[in-house]
């Protein structure tokens, strides 16, 4: 009799657990689409660069962290976390260092920069439509590593509603070449018109 009662309790416990699991899964299913949609909407396209804001018209503190990316136009629609969205024809000038671009080391894993190879532009795809920027929050490890990495300047000026806006930022050694390559690809023929090498 005792064995029968034990068996009955085990069966009932299993059924309750299954029901609770099913109910929990149902609640999660109701929540997941919303949270996933928000994450997908607010996440930055790849590749993207974590840079330090130096100066400009964004009303941010010096050394604030930003994430910068080049995106197809559709990605920018409905996003609430963008500080700027700049199209190619809005850009007035770009100041960069060709020397820093040449010295940006992408030659292999020993340099510690091998990962940056995958950040170079995919020339098979169409050109991106916009340069976009959000605030970033690097973790402690990133902030510590930053102290060991030289960062080089890039200064971008663009027009917004008849007013000139500006953003000066610093990009780390490893990723400088990939950022300039993507900026050059983004601007296309306009690169020769707006870009100025400040290392000369």
pLDDT at 103: 83
Cβ-Cβ contacts under 8 Å for 23 (sequence gap 6 or more): none
Per-residue pLDDT of the chain (200 residues; tens, 9 = 90+): 444 344 334 333 444 333 333 433 333 333 333 333 334 445 788 999 999 999 999 999 998 999 999 998 777 666 778 899 999 999 999 999 999 998 886 555 556 788 888 999 998 988 999 999 999 876 665 655 565 567 889 999 999 999 999 999 999 888 999 999 999 999 999 999 999 999 87
Decide: pTM greater than 0.85. no
pLDDT at 125: 86
pLDDT at 39: 40
pLDDT at 180: 97
Is there a cis peptide before residue 47, judged by omega within 30 degrees of 0?
A: yes
pLDDT at 139: 65
Longest Cα–Cα distance of the chain, Å, equals 94
Residue 53's nearest CA partner among 184, 178, 171, 197 is 171
DSSP state of 116: G
Can you read off the two tokens belonging to residue 161? 């509603």
Residue with tokens 């091998």: 114
């Amino acid at each position: 009799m005792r064995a029968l009662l034990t068996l009955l309790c085990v069966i009932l416990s299993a059924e309750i657990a299954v029901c609770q699991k099913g109910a929990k899964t149902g609640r999660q299913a109701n929540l997941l689409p919303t949270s996933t949609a928000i994450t997908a909407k607010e996440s930055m396209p790849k590749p993207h660069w974590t840079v330090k804001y130096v100066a400009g018209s964004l009303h941010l503190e010096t050394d604030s962290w930003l994430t910068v990316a080049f995106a197809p136009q559709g990605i920018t629609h409905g996003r609430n976390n963008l500080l700027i969205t700049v199209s190619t024809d809005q850009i007035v000038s770009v100041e960069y260092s060709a020397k820093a671009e040449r010295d940006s080391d992408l030659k292999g894993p020993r340099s510690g920069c091998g990962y940056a190879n995958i950040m170079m532009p995919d020339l098979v795809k169409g050109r991106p439509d916009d340069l976009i920027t959000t605030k970033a929050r690097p973790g402690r490890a990133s902030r510590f590593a930053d102290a060991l990495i030289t960062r080089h300047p890039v200064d971008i000026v663009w027009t917004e509603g008849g007013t000139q806006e500006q953003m000066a930022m610093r990009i780390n050694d490893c990723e400088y070449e990939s950022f300039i390559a993507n900026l050059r690809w983004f601007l296309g023929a306009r690169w020769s018109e707006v870009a100025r090498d400040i290392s000369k």
